[in-house]
């Protein structure tokens, strides 16, 4: 049994008797140099992957960070070396980022590095991702103006745990192994979730183009991505099935309700509620039952039915239609998504012109068949949603376990030798 002592620090609690608590400024110092003689690779600080090359960030996430003007000289950007740490603009959410690469970062970031020869940087890589440490850093910003970033000076005056060097290495090695195991399980579950979402998309596309009876006579739709459709169905341009709504009003006149792009889950037609507060300005009006179609980044397939009267972002096309569920599912289908993505304009913020989309033809069955298919899709979506929810719960449990492991070992509540 390891003898423990009170650290004197509320967020840390008890630590092994052989450990110390030392202010960060006596262990680390800021790096203020510019350029990098070893590499001028532009790096992006990320919460999940640490500080990585911008090209790698795009490959891993499929997203594009804010591009630096290519005319700018990267020698003017902040130096960051392998083993350095970075306080990014999102560190209030995920802690400090650790760099495994040589390069430069935007001057907006604070870079610091270890100066204590009796310390191991990879131990602090985990300490700086511990939730209790992050909460402590955030406590410095709570009473100040919105938008204040965590500063190195605040960190420098914070006491942190310092085990003997040999124990730091043991903890870092142990957590490298355990977190890799957990991350592998999480990645596997995320792959399963992606597969389920792809299945949802295929169910929608199959149902709105082929119907539910595989034995009905078929005919050529005249549209390549659709192929054959049931013989009794028609092909109709979207603009003949919907009316666009362009009314506007102040947010306060609609009980402060607002639907933004962040409230639309990609590819599923589901509404995601948030607690974001919006200014009382004039926005588009959408009535309960209107279909909202996102013209921005149509590859994300953000389409939903307004569940209540509200305002919405102008990035949505507001549609009044003969059958909201049918139009929603047709707009969510793989073929429409591929066509609208190919028709976008603009590089940084690709959009599609609604006039383009409204001229696309979609299949239209008879009314009673439409409702039957809608109900079928709703049922399938609900079943898969429940499976996804279960898998997300598994991810949450694994994430909580990972976070508890990091806390317990970087603060000495558990010892590596007891775990082995």
Q: What is the pLDDT of residues 327-340, one digit of tens each?
A: 999 999 999 999 99
Determine the structural domain holding residue 270 and report its residue range: 234-364
CA-to-CA distance for 251 and 308, rounded, in angstroms? 14
Whether residues 252 and 155 share a domain: the answer is no
Q: Are residues 272 and 144 in the same domain?
A: no
DSSP state of 99: B
Q: How many domains does the chain have?
A: 2
pLDDT in tens, 212-228: 999 999 999 999 999 99
pLDDT over threshold 80, residue 137: yes
- CA dihedral defined by 253, 256, 262, 264, rounded to 10 degrees? -70
Residue 48 falls inside a structural domain: yes
The average pLDDT across 347-372 equals 94
User: Does residue 146 share a domain with residue 286?
Assistant: no
As a whole number, mean pLDDT of residues 320-332 equals 97
How far is the CA of 1 from the CAs of 4, 17, 73, 413, 419, in angstroms?
Answer: 9, 11, 56, 11, 13
Determine the pLDDT at residue 71.
Answer: 52
Is the separation of the CB atoms in 292 and 324 below 8 Å? no
Residue 412 inside a domain? The answer is: no
* Strand order through the sheet with 85-87: 28-30, 110-114, 85-87, 97-98
By C-alpha distance, which of 56, 99, 57 is closest to 78? 99
Rounded-to-integer distance, Cα 57 and Cα 89, Å: 16
In 17-87, beta strands by DSSP E = 20-23, 28-30, 43-46, 50-53, 78-80, 85-87
Verify that 158 and 29 share a domain, yes or no: yes
**For 384-393, what is the mean pLDDT?**
97
Distance CA 410, CA 161 (A): 7
pLDDT surpasses 80 at 104: yes
Is the residue at 396 inside a domain?
no
145 pLDDT tier (thresholds 50, 70, 90): very low
Question: What's the token pair of residue 116?
Answer: 């204590």
Got the DSSP string for 105-160? E-TTSEEEEE--TT--HHHHHHHTT-HHHHHHHHHTTTTS-TTPPP-HHHHHTSEE
pLDDT of residue 144: 43
Residue 393 is assigned to a structural domain of this protein? no
Residues counted in the chain: 420
Same domain, 37 and 126: yes
Give the end of a domain, one of 348, 364, 380.
Answer: 364
Average pLDDT, the chain: 92
Q: Specify if 390 maps to a domain.
A: no
Which residue, of 116, 144, 163, is where some domain finishes?
A: 163
One domain for residues 296 and 147: no
Q: What is the CATH number of the domain that holds 28?
A: 3.90.220.20
For the residues 329-353, what does the mean pLDDT come to? Answer: 94
pLDDT at 273: 86
Asked if the structure places residue 107 within a domain, the reply is yes
* pLDDT value at residue 420: 58
Lowest mean pLDDT of 51-60, 173-182, 286-295, name the range.
51-60
pLDDT of residue 69: 55
* pLDDT score for 277: 82
Give Cα 274 to chain centroid, integer Å: 14
Distance between CA atoms of residues 373 and 246, nearest Å: 30
pLDDT at 70 over 80: no
Same domain, 153 and 58: yes
In this structure, the answer to whether residues 240 and 155 fall within a common structural domain is no
What is the mean predicted confidence (pLDDT) over 77-86? 96
Do residues 152 and 292 both lie within one domain?
no
What value does the mean pLDDT take over residues 132-157? 79
Give residue for tokens 């499929």.
62
Whole-number percent of the chain with pLDDT over 90:
81
Judgement on whether residues 239 and 157 belong to the same structural domain of the protein:
no
The rounded distance, in Å, linking the Cα atoms of 296 and 274 is 20
Shared domain check, 136 and 238: no
Q: Which of 128-132, 138-142, 327-331 has the lowest average pLDDT?
A: 138-142
Whether residues 134 and 262 fall in one domain: no
For the cut 60, the answer to whether the pLDDT of residue 324 exceeds it is yes
Evaluate whether residue 185 is within a structural domain: no
User: For residue range 188-216, what is the model confidence (pLDDT) as tens digits?
Assistant: 999 999 999 999 999 999 999 999 999 99
User: In Å, what is the CA distance from 327 to each residue of 2, 200, 209, 291, 333?
Assistant: 65, 16, 12, 8, 10
- Report yes or no on 350 lying in a domain: yes
Of 108, 139, 163, the domain-final residue: 163
List the single range of 39-53, 194-208, 287-301, 375-389 with lowest mean pLDDT.
39-53
pLDDT digits (tens, 9 = 90+) for 22-69: 999 999 999 999 999 999 999 999 988 899 998 888 777 766 655 565
Q: Return d(Cα 221, Cα 235) in angstroms, integer.
A: 7
């Amino acid at each position: 049994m390891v003898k423990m002592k009170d650290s004197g620090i509320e967020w840390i609690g008890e630590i092994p008797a052989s450990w110390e608590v030392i202010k960060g400024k006596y262990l680390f110092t800021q790096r203020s140099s510019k350029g990098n003689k070893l590499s001028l690779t532009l790096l992006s600080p990320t919460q999940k992957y640490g500080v990585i090359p911008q090209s790698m960030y795009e490959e891993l996430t499929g997203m594009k960070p804010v591009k630096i003007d290519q005319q700018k000289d990267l020698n003017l950007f902040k130096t960051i070396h392998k083993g350095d740490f970075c306080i990014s603009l999102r560190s209030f959410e995920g802690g400090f980022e650790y760099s495994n690469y040589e390069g430069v970062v935007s001057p907006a970031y604070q870079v610091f590095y270890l100066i204590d020869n009796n310390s191991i940087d990879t131990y602090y890589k985990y300490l700086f991702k511990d939730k209790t440490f992050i909460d402590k850093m955030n406590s410095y910003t709570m009473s100040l103006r919105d938008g204040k970033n965590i500063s190195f000076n605040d960190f420098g005056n914070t006491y942190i745990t310092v085990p003997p060097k040999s124990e730091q290495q043991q903890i870092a090695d142990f957590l490298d192994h355990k977190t890799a195991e957990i991350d592998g399980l999480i990645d596997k579950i995320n792959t399963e979730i992606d597969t389920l979402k792809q299945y949802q998309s295929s169910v929608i596309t199959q149902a709105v183009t082929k119907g539910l009876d595989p034995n009905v006579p078929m005919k050529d739709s005249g549209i390549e991505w659709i192929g054959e459709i049931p013989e009794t169905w028609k092909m109709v341009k979207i603009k003949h099935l919907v009316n666009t709504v362009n009314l506007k009003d102040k947010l306060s006149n609609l009980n402060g309700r607002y639907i933004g792009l962040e409230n639309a889950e990609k590819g599923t037609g589901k509404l995601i509620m948030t607690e974001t507060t919006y200014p009382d300005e004039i926005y588009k009006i959408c009535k309960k039952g209107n279909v909202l179609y996102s013209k921005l980044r149509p590859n994300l397939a953000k389409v939903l039915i307004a569940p209540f009267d509200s305002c919405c972002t102008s990035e949505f096309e507001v549609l009044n239609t003969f059958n909201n569920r049918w139009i929603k599912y047709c707009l969510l289908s793989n073929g429409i998504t591929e066509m609208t993505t190919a028709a976008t304009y603009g590089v940084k913020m690709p959009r599609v012109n609604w006039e383009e989309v409204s001229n696309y033809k979609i299949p239209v069955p008879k009314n009673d068949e439409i409702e039957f298919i809608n109900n079928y899709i709703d049922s399938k979506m609900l079943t898969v949603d429940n499976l996804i929810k279960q898998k997300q719960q598994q991810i949450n449990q694994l994430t909580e376990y990972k976070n508890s492991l990091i806390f317990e070992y970087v603060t000495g509540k558990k010892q590596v030798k007891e775990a082995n």
